[in-house]
Amino acid sequence: MDRGHMLCDAQGTGLSRILRRSMVLSDRIGGPRFPPAKLEETVSNPSLKCSQMRRTEMYPRTPKVTLAELIERYNRGETHAVTALYQLCQVQQFQVQLRETVTTGNVRGFLFAFCAVIDGVEYKTGMGKTKKEARSRAAHLALEDLIPKLDPQAYAHNASDFPPSLVSWRCSPGPDVHAEKVLCGKNNPLNELILEAVKEKYNKLMGGYPEFSSCGSTLAAFVIQSCTRFDVVAIGTGDHNTRETVASDGRLLHDAHALITARRSLMRYLYRHLLLFFSKNPVLVAKSIFEQDGKTKLLVLKGKTTIHLYMNQLPKGAAQMSSRLCLKPLSISTWEVNNQMGLHVAVEGNVFSTFSSNLDQMSSKVVSMSASDKLTQWQVLGFQGALLSHLLEPIYVNTILIGDTSCSNLRGLEFALNQRVDGIISKLPMYYCAYRAHVGLVPAVHPTSTGGQRSLSMNWTQGDISFEIVDGLVGRSTVDSPNKSCSSLASRLCKAAMLSRFSLVTKESQRVDLSKAVSYREAKMMSKSYQEAKNLLKSHLNQKGYGSWVVKSPISDGFSA
């Protein structure tokens, strides 16, 4: 036997052992197998090795182990978090990576930090004294977020209210992923539950007011998910901001776009639950969505409580950018790139880039940042705002669903929310992060209509007897609104109303330090960490070339309660 034959035989034996070992491991985790007959054929014929292995990689067979079995093993403690994460992603055909990153917040001492990146989505950062500990913590945090969305039994607590199973959840892809991958949100049972809740609530509210039903074209809604239910807690519609001059008493609603009115309605909901928490009545405290963090003493959402956002249209601004800019940015002129990817402002419902020369002619008008930019800001600073940051840790949205029938992909939204804030996490103060929500295209809850009074805006918060109609161009409630807060027609969403609620909560919480603020602006500026994070975000966007955040007129925030 010559040396060449001996070498070939030795290589064949080595490959045989490797393949047999792979076959055993595949049995354990449900991976692809080589049948015994094919195994011997592969070993005896070296020319088949590469081609057969390439076919196996290109067309992997469906795993044998079910998702439920993997989750059950992990929950019983039989599988390590890192192993469970990789096995789970193999079954779901997700791309997964445990990436080393930087520690979050003002962490003292030297710690390693890792985060899981699944299908382009970065999950919470895990930290530890060793890399192994940090990787394990990161995997655990990712599984903690994924399993409730993947477990077929996650929503089986009340079979009469919900579909029997939750089959699969696709994390939001990066900007290089095709639209077809995002469109899987249309068949996601979790998304269907959110859509059903929003549609049912909106139709119920509009049941006796068909004259306002066209407001639903711009509908935005926040849904809170607990262990067994989905509750629509805040709704807003609208497509304009006021054409009036800035008011000094805080009683003018400057921005009545759907996302902004829905978010301010969400803040009213948060204030109500803060009052429940500080009521000292055990029954009322139990109904609150908040609990106190033992270390920070700030309030946080109770465990297994998440917030989802639905929008019937893509938010104005960078989210509506052309998909060409995401796919081939170098082939587009610098002006067009800056014009679409950068910051935008809204003036009487019209949107302009902050690089536009037209802004110089609008100094006398109320100018608001676009809905896309505000959404970017809230996914970093939290939806609670500056005032509530005195009492709450940042509150982020877990899912963002878009029902825009004219939208074929969400590359612009992904870019606006994620790519523009890349690299900011290490700069932010404690509690703040660049939270990456799951994003999906879904069927529209309400048909888009060009009729009706386009300047009208509707808002509602859970617990309200009826909804309020605001004329967005005027910035006040209409005379025929089902709800009118006062004779001056000031909206219940205006800044003065928010400051009044804040004063009531500070009194109930016995925060004497917060009662010293003499104006709305001073109360906001007293939230040091929030203001630090906000300034860092503005500076980051400016340094990255996306433009400057518009500075508000000091008149608008100078009023007192």
CA distance 217 to 451: 10
Ordered DSSP codes for 91-142: HHT--EEEEE----SS--S--EEEEEEETTEEEEEEEESSHHHHHHHHHHHH
SS (H, E, C) 426-459: HHCCCCCCCCCCEEEECCCCCCCCCCCCCCEEEE
- Is the separation of the CB atoms in 376 and 421 below 8 Å? yes
Over residues 162-167, the mean pLDDT reads 28
Tell me what pLDDT residue 316 has. 93
Q: What is the pLDDT of residue 44?
A: 44
Question: Residue 52 burial (CB < 10 Å; 0-12/13-18/19+)?
Answer: middle
- Alpha-carbon torsion 172, 173, 175, 178, what sign? negative
- Alpha-carbon distance 239 to 243, whole Å? 13
Query: 82-137: per-residue pLDDT in tens?
Result: 999 988 888 888 888 898 876 655 454 567 888 898 876 778 888 888 888 889 98
Of 186 and 359, the structure prediction assigns the larger pLDDT to 359
Residue from 460, 449, 494, 451 nearest 474 by CA:
494
363 vs 180, residue with greater confidence: 363
pLDDT tops 70 at residue 14: no
Task: Name the most confidently modeled range: 1-5, 74-78, 391-395.
Answer: 391-395
pLDDT reported for residue 159: 31
pLDDT in tens, 523-542: 999 999 999 999 999 999 99
pLDDT of residue 512: 92
Which carries the bigger pLDDT value, residue 337 or residue 559? 559
Q: What is d(CA 337, CA 277) in angstroms, rounded to the nearest whole number?
A: 47
pTM: 0.70
pLDDT at 23 over 80: no
User: Which tens digits make up the pLDDT trace of 221-257?
Assistant: 999 998 878 999 999 999 999 988 888 899 999 999 9
The DSSP line for 201-212 is HHHHHTTT-GGG
Residue type, 126: G
Question: Which H or E element spans position 236?
Answer: strand 230-236
Over the chain, what is the mean pLDDT? 79
Rounded to an integer, the average pLDDT of 385-414 is 92
Q: Could you tell me what percent of the chain has a pLDDT over 90?
A: 46
pLDDT of residue 25: 37
pLDDT band at 187 (very low <50, low <70, confident <90, very high): low
Alpha-carbon gap, residue 198 to 341, rounded angstroms: 30
**pLDDT per residue over 289-324, tens digit each?**
999 998 889 999 998 899 999 999 999 999 988 755
